[in-house]
Amino acid sequence: MADRIADPWGERTPYAPGEEWPSRVDLHLADGLSESDVDRWVPTASILHSNGDAMDIAVHNGRIVGVRGRPDDRVNRGRLDPKDLYGWQANNSADRLTRPLVRDGDRLVESDWDTAMDRVVTRSRELLDGPGGWGRFGFYTSGQLFLEDYYTLGVIGKAGIGTPHMDGNTRLCTATSAAALKATFGTDGQPGSYTDVDHCDAIALWGHNVAETQTVLWMRMLDRRHGADPPAMLAVDPRPTPVAREADVHLAVRPGTNLALVNGLLREIVHRGWVDGSFVAAHTRGFDDLCAVVDAYPVDRVADLCDVKAADVTRAAELLGTSQRLLSTVLQGFYQSNQATAAACAVNNLHLLRAMIGRPGAGVLQMNGQPTAQNTRETGADGDLPGLRNWSNRAHIEDLARIWNVDPLVIPDWAPPTHAMQIWRYAEQGSIRLLWISATNPAVSLPDLARIRRILSRPDLFVVVQDIFLTETARFADVVLPAATWGEKTGTFTNADRTVHLSEKAVDPPGQARADLDIFLDYARRMDFRDRDGGPLIPWRTPEEAFEAWKRCAAGRPCDYTGITYERLRGPSGIQWGGERLYTDARFNTDPDFCETYGQDLATGAEHSVEEYLATRPERRAFLHAADYHPSPEVPDDEYPLMLTTGRTVYQFHTRTKTGRAPELVAAAPDAWVELHPSDASEHGIGDGDLVAVTSPRGTVRVRARLTGIRRGTVFVPFHYGRHAANELTVTAWDPVSKQPIFKVTAVSVAAVAPAKEG
């Protein structure tokens, strides 16, 4: 096999429009082992991104020794990315948590499950029975557990404790995807399909470095680009990413100006007659308002606001306006940037204006990032209601209460669910007193880390951390619960194109580590949560029973899993809920009784009432939502003259608890860096490889300079490295609609600290 560190994408297998993507099986086994040494292959899918690449785990002598892609799966047709080829080694790491830890003064000491759970339950009881009750609890979970775990946690939170203070790190990740899908189409749920890559004649990548972050999806795109009748490609990204280098048109926009750009593109599409008038008339609402808004964005003004060439904006509009089958993907360059939801909705608008939805090759992927983020959202572990139900719809609450056999008054629907940034704020103010953090490492991944550390160290805050390693966050915990992870537990998860995979247990977890589902079930049992008739609130015991319970909850909703069983998932390929594509009949999920939201003002986030919603006469049409561009909350000034943006490298995953324990990946990207344009560097006396202090109003990190073709005035720091964390610098600010933090736009200054060879 090719060196997949040097070439992350491997060999090309070109194909033409309408053909099936050829398979190619990627495999990696521990040194010295061959396939004949493998005792068994255990089916699962990737846990290090949202692509859902199907693979088998190689087991030898009770240990994971490698992975192999599954050639018949619809998602990856056998391919794996570098993180998946090497990342499994973290499972076997000697420093896995193997026993519960409890706080003894300044130290965390090894303990046992009874002691640790008893501490959690005793504190929970005290708080639940005391003043403030449910308001004292905060649950902050993940996009990396399994569907069964989330559904169980969701029921604990909403019907057991009865608190609205539950969210996932999905708030940092794909809250905007959910918000934009709800706003435009009525509910969450990805309209498009990965097979749209096989049919499209144009691909637009909006703030998505897919080459490095959904590496196998990029292989599919590249294979089309190398075959007959390749699709045209547009990239919108301030950096010269591999995507930008491949694209026919690259718009290196000033960070934070996405909405101005897409408004300008929409205006061109309207003015040059590329709108499908009959589709718009029959299937959408809001066209006249949209035209009124985008009319203020002629190409020259957009070129000015975004700091790109007017001719390139025109070329981009032509590429989009003349395509017959357009596929868009949208990710963090939009979701974590200024006016996130409005900008993501603007991409939806583009597809609606051109009727680019619901047929092969014409689709929009409001991408996910984490492997199981879709499930966090579907099951309501992000604070939404399970089954993509509507918080403001009384009938939906009653429906849930019936399914759970509880009093509807228990379900906390009298206020909107508390978003993650607000949960942290409540902890900071002292109203939340128990914060249960599962499968996320906020001491590296949240903005303004000095503040997060202050909150985590509050003496009045009881912190529970459920993880597989003693992370930067776990060090602040009162109780650390050691979890089993992927390969050591069974469950399902759903990728960014709604493909569900079953991940089977391959090996035992280390020491006393327990599956997350078992931890949540144990808590529910010890808390003795009951239903209306005195029966156990959560009667299920196994992952499959949890899945079946979830199916009853999701039945009749957009994410209806009733046709899916564990047995069917043991077949050759993952299975999509909702079928290949949603909205093939251009009838959308906006019916007032069915939709997930009555809508929000895109500029302010203010929620609309049911009366306001009814007045729009949805009639199962999609909404064209338009908003004006406004500059980001933090823009450069004299003291902080540069714009910092943050993101990822192909070799590392998030806070590196897994990829930082795989030698090949560590060697490929050992430490953080700052990317600078050569002119910005020389202006500040910085040379390639110099140690540089990057400073924002909140902190400083010292990292090596990398001079690249990044746009002038913008610098980039990857956020993976806890020791030099980009989030020491980032600002506490979020999109008003999705509440997703603005990780991509921070004002900073740079200064040389030491030349390349020293320091």
Ligand X SMILES: Nc1nc2c(c(=O)[nH]1)N[C@H]1C(S)=C(S)[C@@H](COP(=O)(O)OP(=O)(O)OC[C@H]3O[C@@H](n4cnc5c(=O)[nH]c(N)nc54)[C@H](O)[C@@H]3O)O[C@H]1N2
Tell me the closest approach of the beta carbon of residue 147 to Mo ion, in angstroms: 18
Q: Using the rule CB under 6 A, which residue among 151, 561, 588, 653 binds ligand X?
A: 653
Name the binder of 13 from ligand X, Mo ion, none, CB < 5-8 A by kind: none
Out of 111, 163, 190, 213, the only residue in the binding site for ligand X (CB under 6 A) is 213
Instruction: Select 241 or 749, whichever has its Cβ closest to ligand X.
Output: 241
Stretch 288-327: interaction string toward Mo ion, x if CB under 5 A: ----------------------------------------
467 binds ligand X (CB under 6 A): yes
Q: For residue 228, count CB atoms less than 10 angstroms from its CB and return exposed for 0-12, middle for 13-18, buried for 19 or more.
A: exposed
Residue 142 C-beta: closest distance to ligand X, Å: 6
Cα–Cα distance measured from residue 18 to residue 743, given in angstroms and rounded to the nearest whole number: 38
Contact 238, 250 (CB under 8 A): no
Rounded distance between C-alpha atoms, residue 594 and residue 188, angstroms:
12
Residue 210 is a binding residue for Mo ion (CB under 5 A): no
Contact 698, 731 (CB under 8 A): yes
Does position 354 bind ligand X by CB under 6 A? no
Contact 332, 369 (CB under 8 A): yes
369 lines the binding site for Mo ion (CB under 5 A) = yes
Q: Which of 466, 589, 600, 696 binds ligand X (CB under 6 A)?
A: 466
- Minimum gap (Å) between residue 501 Cβ and ligand X: 15
Residue with tokens 């918080």: 391
466 contacts which partner out of ligand X, Mo ion, none, CB within 5 to 8 A by kind? ligand X
Q: Which of 341, 440, 499, 738 binds ligand X (CB under 6 A)?
A: 440
Query: Which of 237, 268, 478, 504 forms a contact with ligand X (CB under 6 A)?
Result: 237
d(CA 469, CA 617): 52
Q: Binding to ligand X by residue 209, rule CB under 6 A?
A: yes
Candidates 108-116, 367-375, 581-589, 685-693: pick the segment binding Mo ion (CB under 5 A).
Answer: 367-375
Q: Looking only at residues 250 through 309 of this chain, which bind ligand X when binding is defined by CB under 6 A?
A: 253, 255-256, 258
Q: Which residues ranging from 100 to 159 are in contact with ligand X (CB under 6 A)?
A: 142-145
Q: Is 600 in the site for ligand X (CB under 6 A)?
A: no
Q: Which amino acid is at 651?
A: Y
Could you tell me which of 86, 64, 66, 48 has the C-alpha nearest to residue 665?
86
Number of residues that bind ligand X (CB under 6 A): 63
CA contacts within 13 A on the Cβ side of 219:
27
654 touching ligand X, by CB under 6 A: yes
Identity of the residue, 225 or 654, whose beta carbon is nearer to ligand X in the bound complex = 654
Q: Which residue number, 391 or 651, has a Cβ lying nearer to ligand X?
A: 651
Kindly state whether residue 190 participates in binding ligand X, applying the rule CB under 6 A.
no
Q: Quick one: what does residue 520 bind among Mo ion, ligand X, none, with the CB cut-off 5 to 8 Å set by partner type?
A: none
Question: Rounded to the nearest 10 degrees, how much is the dihedral formed by the CA atoms of 620, 579, 385, 365?
Answer: -80
First and final C-alpha spacing in the chain: 38
Least separation in angstroms between residue 173's CB and Mo ion is 3
d(CA 353, CA 343): 15
Order of strands, edge to edge, in the sheet holding 202-206? Answer: 249-251, 232-236, 202-206, 326-330, 363-366
Contact between 52 and ligand X by CB under 6 A: the answer reads no
Least spacing, CB of residue 268 vs ligand X, in Å? 18
- H or E element at residue 67: strand 63-69
Residues 388, 606: contact at Cβ < 8 Å?
no
Closest to ligand X by CB, 69 vs 256, is 256
- The CB-of-511 to ligand X minimum distance in angstroms stands at 14
Q: Which is nearer to ligand X, 164 or 238 (CB)?
A: 238
And the tokens for 255?
Answer: 């960070």
Among 173, 269, 406, 553, binds Mo ion (CB under 5 A): 173
Q: Which is nearer to ligand X, 128 or 197 (CB)?
A: 197
147 CB-side CA count, 13 A: 30
Choose among Mo ion, ligand X, none what residue 487 binds, the Cβ cut-off being 5 to 8 Å by kind: none
Residue keyed to tokens 């406004």 = 630
Amino acid making up residue 323: S
DSSP 317-386: HHHHHH-SSEEEEE-HHHHTSTTHHHHHHHHHHHHHHTT-SSBTTBEEEE---STTHHHHHHHTTTSSBT
Contact 74, 20 (CB under 8 A): no
Which of 590, 468, 369, 637 has its CA nearest to residue 101? 468
Between 297 and 653, name the residue whose CB sits nearer to ligand X: 653
Nearest approach in angstroms of CB 370 to Mo ion is 5
- Per CB under 6 A, contacts with ligand X among 69-98 are 83
The length of the chain, given as a count of residues = 759
Residue least distant from ligand X (Cβ): 369
CB atoms within 10 A of CB 641: 15
Nearer to ligand X among residue 399 and residue 516 (C-beta) = 516
Q: Taking CB under 6 A as the criterion, which residues in 325-344 touch ligand X? A: 331-334, 336-337
Give the H or E element holding residue 104.
strand 101-104
Nearer to ligand X, 145 or 269 (CB): 145
Q: What's the closest the beta carbon of residue 394 comes to ligand X, in angstroms?
A: 33
- SS3 of 190-250: the string is CCCCCCHHHHCCEEEEECCCHHHHCHHHHHHHHHHHCCCCCCEEEEECCCCCHHHHHCCEE
Q: CA 182 to CA 597: how far, in whole Å? A: 7
Binding mask 714-743 for ligand X (x = CB under 6 A): -----x------xx--x------------x
Closest to 212 (Cα-Cα) out of 241, 235, 240 = 241
> Pick from 124, 314, 376, 438: which binds ligand X (CB under 6 A)?
438
How many residues bind Mo ion (CB under 5 A)? The answer is: 3
Residue 412 binds which of Mo ion, ligand X, none (CB < 5-8 A, kind-dependent):
none
Shortest Cβ distance from residue 311 to Mo ion (Å)?
34
Question: How far apart, in whole angstroms, are the C-alpha atoms of residue 538 and residue 758?
Answer: 60
Place of tokens 């020791």: 723
Query: In the complex, what is the shortest distance from the CB of residue 369 to ligand X, in angstroms, rounded to a whole number?
Result: 2
Pick the closer one to ligand X by CB: 369 or 543. 369
Angle, helices 258-271 vs 340-353, to 10°: value is 20
Among 404, 426, 462, 469, binds ligand X (CB under 6 A): 469
Nearer of residues 410 and 444 to ligand X, judged by Cβ = 444
Minimum distance from CB of 104 to ligand X (Å)? 23
Pick the closer one to Mo ion by CB: 287 or 653: 653
Residues that bind ligand X (CB under 6 A): 49, 83, 142-145, 169, 172-173, 207-209, 212-213, 236-239, 241, 253, 255-256, 258, 331-334, 336-337, 369-370, 438-442, 444-445, 466-469, 471, 483, 485-486, 516, 645-648, 650, 652-655, 657, 719, 726-727, 730, 743-744
Residues that bind Mo ion (CB under 5 A): 173, 369-370
